[in-house]
Amino acid sequence: MQSLHVELGDRRYPIFIGSDLDSQQLLAPYIHGRQVMVVSNTTVAPLYLQHFLQALQGLDKVVATCILPDGEQYKNIEHLHLIFDALLGAGFNRDCTVLALGGGVIGDMAGFAAACFQRGVYFVQVPTTLLSQVDSSVGGKTGINHPLGKNMIGAFQQPQVVLADMAHLKTLPKRELSAGLAEIIKYALLCDADFLVWLEQHMDQLVAGNLDLLAEAVYRSCAHKARIVANDEKEQGERALLNLGHTFGHAIESYLGYGVWLHGEAVATGMVMAADLSQQMGWISLQDVQRVKNIIQRAELPIHCPLIPLDEFLAFMAHDKKVLNGQLRLVLLKQLGQAIITRDFNVEAMHQAIRLNQK
Ligand code: NAD
Ligand code: GLY
């Protein structure tokens, strides 16, 4: 097992990464009250809930469960209420813990419920997808979607602990594994050129589900995320770099309808658009863009999105949280392994980058 910490002063917390982790022993110091609400979904619960309930019973906790339907289309206010219903129905109080057992959808919803319930209760993340292990479980962003924009309603709520168990990835569908690889590639492109070389060397084994290599990729990704979050918890600066590919990607996801394309798939094509625009700005070369496309394709991710009318694409981009004072800011690449956030780009070139990567 490997571990690292998100250094947030008295809210510092560990991320444990390994296979077949001893959840009872690892969770014990981080569940403070007696009441634990395990939030999961109809896919993950049949696979892993029983094991978790046993671990928690060993800790002498009062445990209740809230099992949500599975899917991004349920990451909304109606289904958030089901968690509040469960918490209130079970008579839980202010020192309870909400434990997310699932992918990013469950983590985001359970975390937001923890942020809101009685103005904030303890929160624990047990991410079960690759994407949630490398990204959404770390850093405390939680929330739900609105029909007019993704992740538009939410709060920062840091967990007490993150348990990333590689064994959970054995049951993860291949398409979901690839979606997680998109966020891993993101870290390499935005701040770690050596990691990009490592990914180029190992991509075939990663796609094949080699758990040792996946653990290494999760560790390296979480180390980057932990450092960036510790520097800029509330996204006043550096943390926005983690949104490489996301402004384009959110437009693709929102236009197609939540759940049609996976978040990681949309981010993958969004990173290609960002790379194309960076090339048009003269910052990276055509060969660099090809390298970005190659690693994304080797991760079995899309480099084109379906045709979306430009005005609608732009309208969804305008809802992005990085829009400041009505001005769109984008994360672009100064070079592979060095991203910047900027409003200083050529708008025509951005339109071209969008058009080029649709078919
Ligand atoms: P997800 O939560 O929808 O999970 C993907 C699918 O895999 C679901 O069908 C789920 O039930 C299933 N699943 C989960 N674990 C499994 C397992 N071990 N075995 C088999 N099936 C399993 O999607 P995701 O990719 O994990 O997360 C995407 C969500 O995360 C999006 O809503 C996105 O906005 C959010 N996100 C949040 C942050 C953040 O910082 N909070 C960062 C990135 C993404
Ligand atoms: N996924 C982007 C962030 O956590 O800031």
pLDDT tens sequence across 164-178: 999 999 999 999 999
Residue 295 labelled as part of a binding site: no
Ligand 2 surroundings by CB, under 6 angstroms: 135, 139, 141, 239, 242-243
Q: Nearest bound ligand to CA 111?
A: 1
Residue whose CA lies nearest to ligand 1 atom number 4 = 103
Q: Nearest bound ligand to CA 239?
A: 2
Rounded to whole angstroms, the Cα distance separating 282 from 292 reads 16
Q: Nearest bound ligand to CA 150?
A: 1
Residue whose CA lies nearest to ligand 1 atom number 40 = 136
Residue 296 labelled as part of a binding site: no
Nearest ligand 2 atom to the CA of 242 is 2
How many whole angstroms from 57 Cα to the centroid of ligand 2?
Answer: 33
Buried b (16+ CB within 10 A) or exposed e, 166-194: bebbeebeeebbbbbbbbbbbbbbbbbee
Nearest ligand 2 atom to the CA of 239 is 5
- So what's the pLDDT on residue 322? 63
Rounded to whole angstroms, the Cα distance separating 331 from 343 reads 9
Q: 3-state class of 153 per DSSP?
A: strand
- So what's the pLDDT on residue 257? 84
Rounded to whole angstroms, the Cα distance separating 84 from 283 reads 48
Q: What's the whole-model pTM score? A: 0.96
The answer to whether the CB of 178 falls within 8 A of the CB of 298 is no
At 55, the pLDDT band (50, 70, 90 cuts) reads confident
- So what's the pLDDT on residue 4? 98
Rounded to whole angstroms, the Cα distance separating 86 from 64 reads 8
324 pLDDT exceeds 70?
no
Q: What percentage of the chain carries pLDDT values higher than 90?
A: 90
pLDDT tens sequence across 125-165: 999 999 999 999 999 999 999 887 778 899 999 999 999 99
Nearest ligand 1 atom to the CA of 75 is 32
Per-residue DSSP letters for 42-84?
TTHHHHHHHHHHHHHHTTT-EEEEEEEPSSGGG-SHHHHHHHH
How many whole angstroms from 102 Cα to the centroid of ligand 1?
Answer: 7
At 321, the pLDDT band (50, 70, 90 cuts) reads low
Q: So which residues are the catalytic ones?
A: 119, 141, 183, 225, 235, 239, 243, 246, 250, 263
The answer to whether the CB of 213 falls within 8 A of the CB of 205 is yes
Whether 151 lines ligand 1, by a CB cut-off of 6 Å, is yes
pLDDT tens sequence across 325-342: 678 999 999 999 999 999
Domains of the chain: 2-169 (3.40.50.1970), 174-356 (1.20.1090.10)
- So what's the pLDDT on residue 149? 75
- So what's the pLDDT on residue 148? 76
